[in-house]
Structure 1
Amino acid sequence: MQPIDVQFVVGLSGYFVKDLQAVRQSPQYNPLRDDNISPRTPGFKSVVQPGQVISILLHLPIGGVAVGDCVDVIFSGAASRDPLFVADEHLEVLESVVRPWLLGCDISSFRRNGEKVESGWLGLHKRSKLHSAIRYGLTQALLAATAQVHGCTIAEVISHEWGTRISNRPIDILASCHRNDTLQLDRMIMKQASLLPHASFVHRSDVGLDGSILVDYVRFVAGRVRARGCSGYWPRLHFDVYGTLGDLFPQLDRLAAFLDKLAHAAQPYDILIESPIIASSKAEQIRRLAELRMLLLRNSTRVKTVADEWCNTLEDIKEFADAGAVDYVQIKMPDLGGIDNSIEAVLYCGVKGTGCCLGGSANETEISARITAQVALATNPDFLLSKPGIGADEGLTILTNEMLRGIALTKRRLSRI
C-alpha cells in the first residue's frame, strides 16, 4: 500500500532554539533579550530564535492522513548535533527527492522504510543523509501510516516488528519546570509527577560562584515535596546543569564532593544530575563521565548521572553504554533522526543494563510527543521527558493520556483475539 499524496507544511515548534555556545560564554544573558550577545554557532542569526517545524502529511488510500513533525532540539548545532534546522532550507529537497520516494514506498510495514530514511539519499550531495530533523519527522509519519493501515496503535506496530512486549502501565515522566516558577512546581507535586523538576541551569551564574545557588534550590525542591506532597509520594529529583558543574569544579574529586553535597540537600529523595560535564570531544566526555561515576560509586554517593551532550546518535549511545559512563543516557529523539534509532537505543540500553530517558526537547510538538509515548509503551525506557514546551502540565497531560489510551486500545484488541 502506497500514499496517494504528500504535503509539507511549515509551522511553529513547541519552544525556541538557543545558541548554547554563546549563552555559556556570555557573562550575563536573558533568554528572550539577547541583543548584547553575538551568536557563535553556525546558522544562528541571533542567540535566541523561534523554533520551526515541517509537518509531513501522508494521505493514505484508506482515507486517513498520517502526520509526522520535523523538528530539532533547543540547543541545535551543539556538541556534534546537526546544524540549526531552518525549514525553508529543506523544502526543495523534500519536494524533489523525498516526495517521489514517499509516493512509491510500501507503508504496510515500517522497519524497512525507517532503514531507508536513515541511509544516504541519491539526489543529495555525495549521497549524504537528510538532516536529523527531517529523518525524525519522516519516520514519525511512516510509522503512523503503518499503524493506520493495520488499524492498530503505533506501539503494536513496534511490538510486532521488534518483538517487544507492550507495557501495561504508563512509563514514568520527568516533568520539566522553570526553576523560578514555584506554582508550576506545586502543580507537578500535586499531580504526583514521577520525576521533577528538570529546572535547567545553563550558565555558571545560575548555579552560583561556589555552587551554593544550586544547593539551595535542590534543598528547596526537596522541602517543597515534603511539605506539599501527599502520603506515599516519592519522586526522584532531576536537575539539568549543562556542564556548569564541570566548569566550576574541573577537578573530578572536587566535583564528586560537590555532588555528595547535592545528595544530602535532596534527602530523603534520590537525585539525578544531567550533564554534570560538557567536554570538548565525545571521547573526553565519555572518559571524564566514566571516571566521575567510578568516584561516586567508590564514595557511595547517592547521585545518578545522566548523559546528554555528545550522546546524540545511536552509535554515541552505544559507546556511552558500553563504557558504563553514566547511570542514564538521554535518548534525545530528534538528534537520533529516525524513530527506529530511538527504538534500537532503548533496547540496547536494556541489554547493557544502562538506564535511559526516552527524551527529546521542549522544542517538539504534540504530534512527536504522542508518538514518543507510543514508542515508550513498546520499548519500556526508565522514564520520559515531558514535551512539548516547558509548561509541564501540557507535556504531562499529552504523554500520560496517550499512554493510557494506547494501553486501553491494546487490551481491548487482545481481549477479542
Structure 2
Amino acid sequence: MKIKDVIYSVGRSGYFNKDLVAVKAHGRNNGSFVEGAPITPGYKAIVQPGAILSVMLVLEDESIVVGECADVIFSGVAGRDPLFVPEQHLPFMESTVRPWLVGRDAKTFRAHANEIDSMQADGRRLHTSLRYGITQALLAATAHANRKTAAEIIAAEYGSTVGTKPVDLLASCHRGDNLQLDRVIMKQAAVLPHASFTMAVDLGPNAIVLTEYARSIVKRIKEVGAPGYKPRIHLDLYGTLGDLFGDNLEGLADYLAGLEKDVAPFDLLIESPVIAPTQAEQIVIFKKLKTLLAARGARLGLIADEWCNTLEDIRLFIEAGASDYVQIKAPDLGGINNTIEAVLFCKANGMGCCLGGTANETDLSARITAQMALATGPDFILSKPGIGADEGIMILTNEMLRTLAIIKHRA
C-alpha cells in the first residue's frame, strides 16, 4: 500500500503554550492570562493558544490516515525545541517532506520512522513536533495497509507483546477544581491529580499550600472513594520546590519525606521538584535528592521530566540512576519510534515510566499514545489532551478497550 498524496491543515491543540521563563519571572496571573511580556523566543504572549499541524496521507485505495504535529505546553525551555508555529514549517513540508512521503510503501513502519526521525535540514534534525506527527501518520498507514491495530504493528516490529487490559491512567486535573477531583475519584483513576504548581508563590510559605492541598486530596478520597480504592497521589511541581529551598537539599528532602507521611496510606509520586539550569546539574541534584530521601526512609517516587526530553536523555537518566521514574513526554521525543523504544528501554532496565505527553495535544495523538501504551506496557499514561481529565480518560480508555476487543474478536 503506497502513499499517493499528502494533505496538510493547521488546527487547534487541546490547550495552550506558556512561556515558563516569563511565568516564573512575572507571575502576574489574570485568570487564564499572565500579564507582562514574553521572554522565550517565538512567543507573542506569555500564554497563547496552542496550534497543531495535521498530516494526512492519501493511500492507494483512497483511504486517508492522519498524524498530528504538536508541541508541549512549556516549549523552548530546559533543552526543548522552540515553540511550534505550524505555518513556519509548511514550505519545508511541501518542498521536502511531501516528495519523501509520496510513493513510499506503508507495509512497514519502523524503518520509515527511523529515516524521517533522522532527517536533517540545514544541519539540524526536524522540529520534534514535525517528527511526532509524521511518524503517527506513518504508523496509521502501516496499520491500515496490514489491516491490524497500531498496537499490533508496534508489537510485531519491536518484539513486544500487546497487553490484555488497559494501562493505568494519571488523571490530569486543575488544582483549584474540586468538582473535577471528585469526578476522577468517582471514575477510580489509578493515579491523580497531577495538579501543576508552576510558581514558587503557589506553594505558600514553607510550602504549606502544597501540604494542605495534598492532605485535602487524601481526605476527599477517604470521604467519597469506593471501598478499597487506593490511587497513587501524583503532584507535578515544575521546579517550584527548588525555587523555594534553593541549595538546601537537606531541607527539601525533609519536606518531601514529611509530605509522603501526609498522604499515607497512599503512595506519593513527585515530578520535577527541581529544575536545574543544565542537564548535568539536574542529574546531580536528582541523584543527591534520591540519596537523601532514602536516608530518611522515604519511599516516594521521584519523576524526571525537564532535561529528560529525548530518547538519549532518558537513557542518560536511567544509566545515572537519577530518578525512580521518567516522564516520557511523547512530543518531546520527536518520532514516536523513540517513544516506543524509550518505554521498552525503561522496562528492560528496571526504570519506572509514565508514557506522557501534554495537555497541548489532540484527540488523535492521544489515541496513538493509547496504542503505544498497549504495545509497550508503561507503568501509567497521562490523560490528554487538555486538563479536563474526563475527556482524556474517555479518549484513552475507550481507545484501549476498543483495540483489545478488536484483537480478541480476530483471535
- The 5-angstrom pairing of residues 275-290 of structure 1 reads 275-290=272-287
Native 8 Å contact 2:27 2:34 kept in 1: no
Structure 2 counterpart of 1:362: 359
Native 8 Å contact 2:132 2:334 kept in 1: yes
Per the alignment, in what secondary structure is the counterpart of residue 50 of structure 1? Answer: strand
Q: CA deviation at 1:92?
A: 0.2
Alignment deviations for residues 293-318 of structure 1 (CA, whole Å, 9 cap, x no partner): 11112211132111110000000000
**Which amino acid is 1:346 matched to?**
V
Alignment deviations for residues 224-245 of structure 1 (CA, whole Å, 9 cap, x no partner): 1111101011100000010000
Structure 1 counterpart of 2:7: 7
Distance 1:31 1:200, change over 3 A: farther
Structure 2 counterpart of 1:205: 201
* In structure 1, C-alpha distance between the alignment counterparts of 2:355 and 2:84, rounded to whole Å: 21
* In structure 1, C-alpha distance between the alignment counterparts of 2:29 and 2:320, rounded to whole Å: 36
Unaligned runs of 5+ in 2: none
Structure 1 counterpart of 2:67: 68
Alignment deviations for residues 288-345 of structure 1 (CA, whole Å, 9 cap, x no partner): 0011011112211132111110000000000111111111100000000000000000
Q: CA deviation at 1:387?
A: 0.1
Native 8 Å contact 2:23 2:34 kept in 1: no
Structure 1 counterpart of 2:84: 85
2:311 to 309, 314, 332: 314
Per the alignment, in what secondary structure is the counterpart of residue 57 of structure 2? Answer: strand
Per the alignment, in what secondary structure is the counterpart of residue 273 of structure 1? Answer: strand
2:388 to 391, 406, 409: 391
* In structure 1, C-alpha distance between the alignment counterparts of 2:32 and 2:104, rounded to whole Å: 43
Per the alignment, in what secondary structure is the counterpart of residue 234 of structure 2? Answer: strand
Q: CA deviation at 1:268?
A: 1.1
Q: CA deviation at 1:65?
A: 1.0
**Which amino acid is 1:219 matched to?**
R
Structure 2 counterpart of 1:107: 106
* In structure 1, C-alpha distance between the alignment counterparts of 2:328 and 2:100, rounded to whole Å: 28
Q: CA deviation at 1:104?
A: 2.5
| Structure 1, 230-239 or 243-252: larger mean CA deviation | 243-252
* Aligned length, in residue pairs: 410
| Structure 1, 61-70 or 378-387: larger mean CA deviation | 61-70
Alignment deviations for residues 393-413 of structure 1 (CA, whole Å, 9 cap, x no partner): 000000001001111111222
TM-score by length of 2: 0.98
Per the alignment, in what secondary structure is the counterpart of residue 142 of structure 2? Answer: helix
Q: Is it true that 1:157 corresponds to 2:153 in the alignment?
A: yes
* In structure 2, C-alpha distance between the alignment counterparts of 1:170 and 1:181, rounded to whole Å: 26
Moved over 3 A (4+): none
Structure 2 counterpart of 1:257: 254
* In structure 1, C-alpha distance between the alignment counterparts of 2:27 and 2:57, rounded to whole Å: 47
* In structure 1, C-alpha distance between the alignment counterparts of 2:312 and 2:170, rounded to whole Å: 25
Q: CA deviation at 1:120?
A: 2.9
Native 8 Å contact 1:117 1:135 kept in 2: yes
Native 8 Å contact 2:19 2:75 kept in 1: yes
- The 5-angstrom pairing of residues 164-175 of structure 1 reads 164-175=160-171
Q: Is it true that 1:144 corresponds to 2:143 in the alignment?
A: no
Per the alignment, in what secondary structure is the counterpart of residue 44 of structure 2? Answer: coil
Structure 1 counterpart of 2:214: 218
Structure 2 counterpart of 1:352: 349
* In structure 2, C-alpha distance between the alignment counterparts of 1:105 and 1:337, rounded to whole Å: 20
Alignment deviations for residues 100-148 of structure 1 (CA, whole Å, 9 cap, x no partner): 1100222110000111111133xx213x211100000000000000000
- The 5-angstrom pairing of residues 23-42 of structure 1 reads 23-30=23-30, 32-35=32-35, 37-42=36-41
* In structure 2, C-alpha distance between the alignment counterparts of 1:349 and 1:302, rounded to whole Å: 19
Structure 2 counterpart of 1:117: 116
* In structure 2, C-alpha distance between the alignment counterparts of 1:280 and 1:68, rounded to whole Å: 33
* In structure 2, C-alpha distance between the alignment counterparts of 1:254 and 1:49, rounded to whole Å: 36
Per the alignment, in what secondary structure is the counterpart of residue 135 of structure 2? Answer: helix
Per the alignment, in what secondary structure is the counterpart of residue 205 of structure 2? Answer: coil
Alignment deviations for residues 246-284 of structure 1 (CA, whole Å, 9 cap, x no partner): 111121111000001211111110010100110000010
Q: CA deviation at 1:164?
A: 0.4
* In structure 2, C-alpha distance between the alignment counterparts of 1:375 and 1:62, rounded to whole Å: 26
Q: CA deviation at 1:173?
A: 0.4
* In structure 2, C-alpha distance between the alignment counterparts of 1:26 and 1:177, rounded to whole Å: 24
1:242 to 214, 224, 238: 238
Q: CA deviation at 1:30?
A: 3.5
| Structure 1, 18-27 or 367-376: larger mean CA deviation | 18-27
Per the alignment, in what secondary structure is the counterpart of residue 76 of structure 2? Answer: coil
* In structure 2, C-alpha distance between the alignment counterparts of 1:116 and 1:31, rounded to whole Å: 44
* In structure 2, C-alpha distance between the alignment counterparts of 1:384 and 1:62, rounded to whole Å: 34
RMSD between superposed Cα atoms in Å: 1.0
TM-score by length of 1: 0.97
* In structure 1, C-alpha distance between the alignment counterparts of 2:30 and 2:319, rounded to whole Å: 39
Q: Is it true that 1:412 corresponds to 2:403 in the alignment?
A: no
1:300 to 290, 297, 301: 297
Alignment deviations for residues 358-380 of structure 1 (CA, whole Å, 9 cap, x no partner): 00000000000000000000000
Native 8 Å contact 1:240 1:273 kept in 2: yes
* In structure 1, C-alpha distance between the alignment counterparts of 2:33 and 2:325, rounded to whole Å: 34
Native 8 Å contact 1:31 1:48 kept in 2: no
- The 5-angstrom pairing of residues 168-187 of structure 1 reads 168-187=164-183
